[in-house]
Every structure is written in structure tokens, then in C-alpha cells.
Structure 1
Amino acid sequence: MSRLDSMLRRLTAQRDGLNWAVARIGDSDGDILDMGLGNGRTYDHLREILPNRRIWVMDRVLQCHPNSTPPPKDFLQGEAEPMLQKLADTGHKIAMAHYDFGRGIKDEDVAEAARLSPMIARVMQPGGLLISGQPLKGFDQIEGPETIAPDRYLFYLA
């Protein structure tokens, strides 16, 4: 598979997975967390499909497209551990989280996801949904939408 086809497959799975998760959380309480802002495409999609939810965004640096910049009060800038701790300390509980940290080096990305999993668990509300491109630890893995290959995107319950 070409890198272009792989990217299209990943982005389609990401969009379909997010839309599926939003339908599952419905009107439940809780905020949304996007871990890994990047260019801001996912954040832009989340705010379109969840216009009445607070969406926390986390990344090391703010370098997204100007049209996809989160409000300063919702952007947690820095390394993941202290930002997750800061979010946990506020008492906000997350109904749905999207995990998209990584540099594209599979072994390192998997190790980072495993290391961050306990901290992510601290901010999730019971029954909250996680959508991730990397395997997370300590959560119940569930089946996502039928349109997404099981190895392409992963879905979990907190």
C-alpha cells in the first residue's frame, strides 16, 4: 500500500471512528480531549460535530492552521504528563478522548501510549470512550464501526 493510500485509510478511519464515538456518547456529561493537535484537522472536526461540548486540546507546541486554533483556555501546551496532571487536578472528567500522539516510529509510539495510559485513565469518566491510533493499556477494548479494520484504529471504554 502506498503511503498516500495508507494516509487516506488512516484519516477515513479517524473520521468514521470519531463520528461513531460521538453518536455513542450522546448527551452524556463530560468534556472532550484531543491529545495531539498537530495541524488541527481533528480538532476542527470535533468542534463541528460537538458544538456544545468543551474540547480540551493538548500538544507540545501550537503550530496548527490558524482556522483550527483552540481558545487559549482550552489548550494545554507542553509535555503530556504535566498537562494530563493539570487536567486531572481541575476535576474535569472526559467523556471522549482521541489519542493521536506519536512521531511515526511504531515502537516508540506504542511505548509512549502505554506509559501515558494510567494518566489518561485518571481524567476519563467511567464508561468514557477512547479512540486511538496506538494501543492503550488498562482500558476495555471494544469493537468500533464495521467500516474500520480492527488494526487501523482502536476503541476503548474507560
Structure 2
Amino acid sequence: MSRLDSMLRRLTAQRDGLNWAAAQVADLKGDVLDIGLGNGRTYDHLRETLPDRRVRVIDRVLQCHPSCVPPEADFLQGEARPMLEQLAQENAPVVLAHYDLGFGVKEKDVAEAAALSPAIAAVMGPGGIIVSGQPLVGFEELSGPEGIPPGRYLFYRAG
């Protein structure tokens, strides 16, 4: 499979997974969290898909497309762990989180996701859904929507 085809499959799985997760949390109260803003595509999709929810963002730097810059109050700039700890102190439950941090080195990315899992759990509201590009630990793993190959994207429910 070409890298282009692989990217298209990944982005389609991401979109379909986020749409599925949004439907799963429709009756829950809480915010949305995008961990890893990047160029802002996912953030833009989340705010369009869930217009009545506050969408918070964590990233090391703000370097997204100008149309995807979150409001200053919703952008937590810095390393993920301290930003998640800050968010946990606010006691504003997250009902849908998207985890998309990475260095581009699989072993390093998996280790970081595992290390950050407890901090992610601390911000999640009961029954909240996490959509992740990396394996997380300590959550109930879900099948996710039909049509996404196993392992392409991962889905979890918070306790």
C-alpha cells in the first residue's frame, strides 16, 4: 500500500472514529479534549461536529492553520503531563478525548501514551470515550465503529 493510501485510510478511520465517539457521548455532560493540535484538522472537525461543547486543546506549540486557532482560554500550551494535571484541577470532566501525540518513532510513541494514560484518566468523566492513535493503558478497550480495521485507530471508555 502506498503511503498516500495509508494516510487516507488513517484519516478516514480518524474521522469515522471521532463521529462515532461523538454519538456515543451525546447524553453525557462535559467537554472535549484534543491532545495534540498539530495543524488543527482534528480540532476543526471536533468543533464543527460538537458545536455546543467546549473543545480544549493541548500541544507543545501553536503552529496550526490560522483558521484552526483555538480561543486562548481553550489552548493549553506546554508538555502534555503538566497541562493534563492543570486541567484535572479544574474539575471539568472530559467526555470525549482525542489522543494524537507522537515523535514519529513507534516505540517512543507507545511508551509516551502509556506513561500519560493515568493523567488522561484523571481528566475523563465517567463513561467518556477516548479515540487514540496509540495504545493507552487502564481503560476499557472498545471495538469502535464498523469498517475500521483493528489497530488502525483505538477506542477506549473511561471508568
SS of the residue corresponding to residue 151 of structure 1 reads coil
Other-structure match for 2:84: 84
CA distance in 1 between partners of 2:28 and 2:157 (Å): 14
Other-structure match for 1:126: 126
Shift of 1:126: 1.1
TM-score by length of 1: 0.98
| 1:136 corresponds to 2:121 | no
Partner deviation per Cα, 1:1-41 (whole Å, 9 max, x = no partner): 21111111110000000000111111320100000000000
| 1:73 corresponds to 2:59 | no
Q: Which runs of 5+ in 2 are unaligned?
A: none
Other-structure match for 1:154: 154
Other-structure match for 1:59: 59
Q: Which runs of 5+ in 1 are unaligned?
A: none
Other-structure match for 1:47: 47
| 1:18 corresponds to 2:18 | yes
Partner deviation per Cα, 1:113-152 (whole Å, 9 max, x = no partner): 0000000000001110000010000000011111101110
CA distance in 1 between partners of 2:27 and 2:77 (Å): 28
Number of residue pairs matched by the alignment: 158
CA distance in 1 between partners of 2:139 and 2:15 (Å): 22
Task: Give the superposed CA RMSD.
Answer: 0.6
SS of the residue corresponding to residue 38 of structure 2 reads coil
